Amino acid sequence: MTEIRYDAAIIGAGAAGMASASTLSDRGYHPVLIDREEFTGGILLQCIHNGFGLHRYNEELTGPEFAFRLEEQIEKAGIPFLSRTTVLSIEKQESEFRLLVSSAEDGLRTIICPAVVLAMGSRERNRGNIRIPGDRPAGIYTAGLAQRLINIDGYLPGKKAVIIGSGDIGLIMARRLTLSGAEVAAVVEIQPYPSGLTRNVVQCLQDYNIPLYLSHATTRINGRERVTSVEVAPLENGTVNQEKTFSIPCDTVLLSVGLIPENELSAKTGVELNPVTNGPIVRANLMTSVPGIFAAGNVLHIHDLVDRVAEEAERAGCACADWLDSGGTAVPSGIQLKPGLNIRYTVPSQIIPEQNMRISFRSMVIIDRAVVRLEQNGRELFSKKISWVRPGEMIQLDIPPGTIPSNKMSSGNSPVTVSLYNAESEDKK
């Protein structure tokens, strides 16, 4: 079997994979990009709408344009790309990893490298994940599949659609279907708030007068050969009120009920996963529980902006380069970082007092004027006011060095919690 050696293997050639590979190359290392698809760019290639790049490039780009910026860096650096190649397994032997990969062109090969970056992205939840009763007619798609059908293959999936869930892809597809000549009868969301970005709610639903039913559950999908309607009922006090069920005629159903990190390979490799995010648990330097394996992007936790995916992946690439510089000994020792009041999760799971740290987290509640606090043993270490927070929008916070007490101090080993408070309530105290 053919064996190929590289300094690092990047699994996934979307925004995260390309950004981390480019960073490693800039540091003088020779990584390889591996992806199951034929081209680099990942999901960006089917996202023909604009809104990308505002943070990273200070201009508004489409998905393919954003991907092209990263592809230029990959090509300029001469980073090899193994396309239509699947990583079957990752095994660690002493100080190296052995990746068994397969492709139709080259068969089975082994890639040997001292470091790995996981950048496989995410997959969509489907009907089986949310268990909607009914028959199994034609016309039921995930929002991402419908996006590919229209934008890549040139097929309109239906004439009248109901979108279940208000994730960003579903919101964007509501607009795309409308512009393509289809009717979007409604977007149905079980939560009392939209799951996607506020700007997408405004630009994709409100601008086109598409109804959004919040706190409503889809109780049944009707149809034998093809979808004919969906049944919807409101939630009252956390319970579906069946007496108020109503039917929405349609021939197409799009599911936009969330994304899941693509972590089958991670789990198989022995990487410890976070039960909340379903992504790896990572140290302060984005290293997983397996030394030498790093993670970034949607495989780690679901992002709302690709700009943040690329930025996080660059940090993972830098950390991977540091690991290689140290000969595989740079395992930072940090203080545990945990979600506190109104926080769903935090990434990373550690914080290093002596370093500038960027942490990411999501709120569990809607607050128009909020205060985020880092606390340890009930003592406030850091606080910052935020104009507003929404569960659908990720929050990032930069923590200056010295904010957290050093490990050498008596309280240094106690976990640090991140909490969100209502600023108005705090002002009254």
List domains and CATH numbers for the chain: 2-123+260-325 (3.50.50.60), 126-257 (3.50.50.60), 335-428 (2.60.40)
Conformational region of residue 328, where left means phi above 0, alpha means psi within -120 to 50, and beta covers everything else:
left
Read off the tokens for 239. Answer: 């319970």
Chain center to CA of 43: 12
User: What one-letter code names the amino acid at 273?
Assistant: L
- Which stretch of DSSP H or E encloses residue 35? none
> Rounded to an integer, what distance in angstroms lies between the CA atom of residue 351 and that of residue 83?
36
pLDDT tens digit at each of 429 positions of the chain: 799 999 999 999 999 999 999 999 999 999 999 999 999 999 999 999 999 999 999 999 999 999 999 999 999 999 999 999 999 999 998 889 999 999 999 999 999 999 999 999 999 998 888 888 888 899 999 999 999 999 999 999 999 999 999 999 999 999 999 999 999 999 999 999 999 888 999 999 999 999 999 999 999 999 999 999 999 999 998 899 999 999 999 999 999 998 999 999 999 999 999 999 999 999 999 999 999 999 999 999 999 999 999 999 999 999 999 999 999 887 777 899 999 999 999 999 999 888 899 999 999 999 989 999 999 998 999 999 998 898 988 999 999 998 887 754 444 578 999 999 998 766 555
The residues pairing with 287 across neighbouring beta strands, listed in sequence order, are 294
* pLDDT score for 411: 46
Read off the tokens for 394. Answer: 């990720």
The residues pairing with 138 across neighbouring beta strands, listed in sequence order, are 226
* pLDDT score for 259: 92
> Rounded to an integer, what distance in angstroms lies between the CA atom of residue 58 and that of residue 219?
43
Q: How far apart are the first and last CA of the chain?
A: 69
> Rounded to an integer, what distance in angstroms lies between the CA atom of residue 374 and that of residue 269?
33
> Rounded to an integer, what distance in angstroms lies between the CA atom of residue 84 and that of residue 191?
38
Cis (ω within 30 of 0) for the bond into 234? no
* pLDDT score for 428: 52
By DSSP bridging, strand 259-261 and strand 122-124 are antiparallel
Read off the tokens for 285. Answer: 């330097």
* pLDDT score for 409: 45
Backbone angles phi, psi at 38, to 5 degrees: -80, -30
Q: pTM for the complete prediction?
A: 0.93
- Which stretch of DSSP H or E encloses residue 353? none
